[in-house]
Each structure stands twice: as C-alpha cells, then as structure tokens.
Amino acid sequence: MTQESARTPHGSDSTGQGQSGGAPGFTRAQVEALFMNAAREGEAELLARFLDAGMEADLRSDKGYTPLILATYNGHLEAARVLLAHGADVNAQDEKGATALAGVAFKGDLALARLLLEAGAGVDVANAVGRTPLMFAVMFGREDMVRLLLAAGADPYRRDGEGLNAIELAHRQGGAALAQVLAQEQGNP
C-alpha cells in the first residue's frame, strides 16, 4: 500500500478520523505491521530507523512473536544484532512459550545461537509443554547445536511435559549417537 492510498487528500485516514499514531499516511497498525515485516525479512537498516523513531523493540504480534523471535527464526543475524542493541528482550516468549533461542536451536543456526547466548539468553527456558532449546536441537538432530547448548550449561536431564529428558528424546527419535553425545558431554559415558 502506498502512502497516498492509505489516506484521503486531507491527511485523514479512510474513516476521516485522522491518524492514530505512526507516520503520516499510515495507521499505527500499518506501521507496526511494516516493522514486524522488516524483522521477518531481516531488513536491519529499516529496523534501526523504526527503533530510532521510537518503535518498541518488544512489540508483539497477535501470536506473541516479537521482532527478535521473527528475525532469528528466519536466520537474520544483523537484524537480531540491531534489535538486541536497541534493548530487545532476549528471553521473550511467544504465546506457546518459545523463545528466540528455541527457534534457533531447532533450525540449527549456530551463529544466531551464539549471539543470543552472549546476550544472556536463558539456555533452559522451557516452552508451554516444557521443551527447552536443547530438546528442540535433539529432536531435530542438530548435533553441533546440542554441543553448543551443553557447553552453555543446558541441562540434558531436565524433563518436559511428557516426563522425558533430552537423552530420552534422542533415543525416542532414533538418535542413539546423539544420546551418547549428551551423556558424554555431561561426563556420564
């Protein structure tokens, strides 16, 4: 939508009520949608401009996604750096309890995981069903991610809502080798 199509000739929105915040010609909801899309698409420079203009770094979508969750899930390292530099909550959880680190662990993006961990991401923050980033890395066979999370202090014995720990999840997924990595990394061969 162009700026001109979003308003009438007198600067009011299509309801004739004027703007409810945001840039001239855009409603607050439109500006927020553009901001969230910039995070999803990894447009770091645009994110920085939004944030410098006062956009909230932890704005939430209707599903509870924050810009940081969207940027990291979609693999955008520079966008994540911008958001973190502007105070984004590294441990924010979406409506299902997932953090940015959980999404990165499941995807296997080591560079983003390191960035989040350096920014203070909780390595054992569980989602609504008790699954931690380590459990997601195990479930999707991300051995390098498993090693990184263990080195950062992840607990392979923490149990999810089904009562399973990361080692048991590895066995259940047919990942005996990954289960062995978990046990060895903890000094229990």
Q: Give the burial class of 81: count Cβ atoms within 10 A of its Cβ; 0-12 exposed, 13-18 middle, 19 or more buried.
A: middle
Reported as a single tens digit per residue, the pLDDT across 132-142 is 999 999 999 99
pLDDT at 12 over 50: no
The percent of residues in the chain predicted with pLDDT above 90, rounded, is: 76
CA dihedral 16, 17, 23, 24 (to 10 degrees): 40
The percent of residues in the chain predicted with pLDDT above 70, rounded, is: 85
Q: Which of 45, 161, 83 is nearest to 100 (CA)?
A: 83
Reported as a single tens digit per residue, the pLDDT across 37-79 is 999 999 999 999 999 999 999 999 999 999 999 999 999 999 9
Exposure class string for 16-42: b at 16+ Cβ within 10 A, else e: eeebeebeebbbeebbbebbbebbbeb
Structure tokens at 120: 């203070």
Domains of the chain: 28-89 (1.25.40.20), 99-188 (1.25.40.20)
Q: Which of 118, 74, 75, 122 is nearest to 99 (CA)?
A: 122
| Residue tagged 């720990």 (tokens) | 165
More confident residue, 151 or 15: 151
Mean pLDDT, the chain, whole residue set: 87
Q: Which of 185, 132, 128, 138 is nearest to 159 (CA)?
A: 132
Question: Is the separation of the CB atoms in 106 and 139 below 8 Å?
Answer: yes
The Cα angle at residue 68 between residues 44 and 153, in degrees rounded to 5 = 125
Structure tokens at 107: 């995807």
Rounded distance between C-alpha atoms, residue 171 and residue 31, angstroms: 47
More confident residue, 155 or 2: 155
> What is the pTM (predicted TM-score) of this model?
0.83
pLDDT at 20 over 70: no
Q: Give the burial class of 63: count Cβ atoms within 10 A of its Cβ; 0-12 exposed, 13-18 middle, 19 or more buried.
A: exposed
| Helix-helix angle 110-118:77-85, to 10 degrees | 10
3-state secondary structure of 160: coil
pLDDT at 117 over 60: yes
| Residue tagged 């499941």 (tokens) | 106
